[in-house]
Amino acid sequence: MPRINHPSYFATWLEEYGQVFKKFGDHDSGNISYGVKNKESKRHFIKFAPHHNMTAIKFLENAYILGENISHPILVELKLGVNCRDGLALVYDWVEGEDLNEVTTTNKPVIMDIREAPDSPYRRFKSLPVEEIVKVLNQIFDLHVVLEKQGYVSCDWYDGCIIYNFAEEKVHIIDLDLYNKGPFTNSMGRMYGSSRFMAPEEVEPGEIIDKRTTVYHMGATVFEFLGHGKKEADKGFRGNKSQLNVAFKAIQDNKKERYSSVQEFCSEWLAAL
């Protein structure tokens, strides 16, 4: 994966690179992202971390290493790394679709959770036929099997990592910046992530984060999109009984009661289909 050094500030490099057609809200980590059309009229997604924000730099360096080493049909491809005078920029392919954690486009005041607004990408995705949702889940699980084989453990996995193109029925995955080689020890207490997807060990300092944590994330994803979330795993599940049993085993609080790996989880999930 090419990585170049540019002597100027990021703003100067960005202006030279192409035309910004969209600026995204600042990330919690401190990254700033843009949609940019380059001089060959190709569109890219560019993420920038300033040097003064060491956390943002750490995450983007992590993302660069993952992008260098992992390739998968649904993982948005990293094209270039750029060391600017004031920070690091990563250039990704641009993909069409909607982020499933995106704020609703409605003009009406939103009192409910934004994901539950009728026109939100999240609600529209959950309303798709079960077969279409399962197809997406299968691809997500396959990606995580590939990641697991390279030693990666998921962290900060949630629906904001998923872009779905409703017209073409295509899924893409972004923002795996916090994925790390594991196992490792939770030194933070509450780690980064959405509580809807987080495993118990992600909120307890000193606990081990490993492939069984990723298994939990995958099980929580099943309940998020085929049911009413992991907290109501026994209510309104749209899949079959075997799928329910596989997903339920994946989200056990006791890690020893979960599947030992994403590969094992995925094999059981596919058998349940």
d(CA 46, CA 21): 11
CB 188 within 8 A of CB 248: no
d(CA 229, CA 40): 44
Tell me the β-bridge partners of 87: 50, 84
- pLDDT tens per residue, range 155-187: 999 999 999 999 999 999 999 999 999 999 999
What CATH number should be reported for the domain whose range is 98-272?
A: 1.10.510.10
SS3 content of the chain, % helix, strand, coil (to 5): 35, 20, 40
CB 144 within 8 A of CB 151: no
Q: Which fold has domain 3-93?
A: Phosphorylase Kinase; domain 1 (3.30.200)
Distance of alpha carbon 260 from the chain centroid: 22
Q: Which H or E element spans position 1?
A: none
Over the chain, what is the mean pLDDT?
A: 93
Average pLDDT value for residue range 245-252? 98
Domain extents in the chain: 3-93, 98-272
Query: Largest Cα–Cα distance of the chain, in whole Å?
Result: 59
Q: Give the length of the chain.
A: 273
- pLDDT tens per residue, range 21-34: 999 866 667 789 99
Q: Which H or E element spans position 57?
A: helix 54-69
Question: pTM for the complete prediction?
Answer: 0.94
